[in-house]
Amino acid sequence: MQTIETRTNPRLCRLADEPEDYRRLGLDPDTVEAWEDGLRTDPGPGSYEWWYFDAHLGDGSSLVIMFNTKNPMAPHKPLEPTVSAQLNRPGAEPLTLAPRVSADQFHAGKDGCDVRVADNWFRGDLHYYEIHVAHEGTTIDVQLTAQVRPWRKGAGRVYFGANDEHYFAWLASVPQGAVSVQLNNGGRTERLTGIGYHDHNWGDVAMPRLMNHWYWGRAQAGPYSVIASYSTAGHKYGDAEIPTFLLTRGETVVAEDPGKVSFHLEDVHIDEHSGKPVGNIVVYDYEDGQDRYRVSFHRAKTIMDRKLIDEISGLKHVLARLKGFDGAYLRFTGTVQLEHFVGGNKVEDVSDHGIWELMYFGRTTSDDKSAEEG
């Protein structure tokens, strides 16, 4: 069992990686199966689930698509599916598609990824995916072909509480894949290609009850594919620090032990809109014997900057303000650099475009304040 380090009780937060965890969840420790990307929850009250895709395209664009069973901030609600797509193009306003859908238009299979919401779909088998989003005469069609095999950390869950009362689950269905996009907008058809990613998340309680904040990102750099995140649990769960790190070279896993990765921010500033501290450079250092891999995300542009309270209305908005809720979500694009050192000598230095995010549910921590002052 990997116990995630906390500042109080080490059992308040743990990665599900014991033999009993795999048996209980029906998982093979060494193989990800297609059904794992299917519906994993009852989409009614008491859960949330989403399927996520992003891509960097050859013309410098970035594309993000999400299919949700509901707002993950409100898992207690009944099924309220949403579909969203955002295309950010150099020198142009973002193109956002958010078709209005209803609960009776939602269907998701349990044998594999087969999610349909009205006239939109997200389907595939861990190797090949098709995604279709349509709204007001604009359509986006995606084909994603995996280049890196699917991956999960342990049994794909982090449990919270001394008795595993709650969980957050994550499957990297396609850590990296070749992408083809057909965009039909305003009577014009374009075809774009690039590199993409797909993952799948689900849980049983609103994330602000578990997490304070996280950085998450993924990229291709030279022959490498990287997924990296660093989360901080809420104070109730000991401020646990939860690292995730996957580095592959082709089909070969180069690094995946979260105990060997450290994380820090450089060139920190306060984001004017959200009020959150943002690192212009996000750094993951992975050390394994003589080998050291330094992965750094260099922000060029903030492509999304949302205050979560702005998405709440009426009495709930008033109550959230009274409680001091100031959550925020920011998404960035820029350059991801990977440096490989052997015995202190740099032997590789490669970089490419990347996309990453900062999700902040709670108030700024004392560690963040120290970073601001430093």
Per-residue tens of pLDDT for the chain, all 374 residues = 454 444 445 579 999 999 999 999 999 999 999 999 999 999 999 999 999 999 999 999 999 999 999 998 889 999 999 999 999 999 889 999 999 999 999 999 999 999 999 999 999 999 999 999 999 999 999 999 999 999 999 999 999 999 999 999 999 999 999 999 999 998 999 999 999 999 999 999 988 899 999 999 999 999 999 999 999 999 899 999 999 999 999 889 999 999 999 999 999 999 888 888 999 999 999 999 999 999 999 999 998 888 765 555 444 433 444 344 567 889 999 999 999 999 999 999 999 998 899 998 866 654 444 333 33
As a whole number of angstroms, the distance between CA 81 and CA 119 comes to 13
At residue 237, what are phi and psi to the nearest 5 degrees?
A: -110, 35
Nearest to 283 by CA among 348, 347, 360, 228: 228
Angle at 254 between CA 223 and CA 266, to 5 degrees: 80
The CA-to-CA distance between both ends of the chain, in Å, stands at 36
**Under CATH, what is the fold of the domain 210-374?**
AttH-like fold (2.40.370)
Residue 35 token pair: 């059904």
Say yes or no: do domains 1-204 and 210-374 share a fold: yes
CA nearest neighbour of 125 among 36, 242, 57: 36
pLDDT at 343: 96
Q: Would you tell me how many other CB atoms lie within 10 Å of the CB of residue 248?
A: 21
Alpha carbon 357 to chain centroid distance? 8
CA distance 51 to 66: 6
Q: What pLDDT was estimated at residue 308?
A: 63
pLDDT at 10: 54
**Distance, CA of 230 to CA of 235 (rounded, Å):** 16
Cβ proximity of 295 and 282 under 8 Å: no
For the beta carbon of residue 68, count every other beta carbon within 10 angstroms: 21
Tell me what pLDDT residue 6 has: 41
- The answer to whether the Cα torsion of 352, 179, 116, 169 is positive or negative is negative
CA distance 7 to 40: 32
Residue 3 pLDDT: 41
What is the CATH topology of the domain spanning 1-204?
A: AttH-like fold (2.40.370)
In angstroms, rounded to a whole number, what is the distance separating the alpha carbons of residues 260 and 252? 18
* pLDDT of the residue at 251: 86
Tell me if the pTM is above 0.85: yes
Going from N- to C-terminal start, the domains of the chain cover: 1-204, 210-374
Q: Which of 96, 52, 352 is closest to 221 using CA atoms?
A: 352
Q: Is 21 left (phi over 0), alpha (psi -120 to 50) or beta?
A: alpha
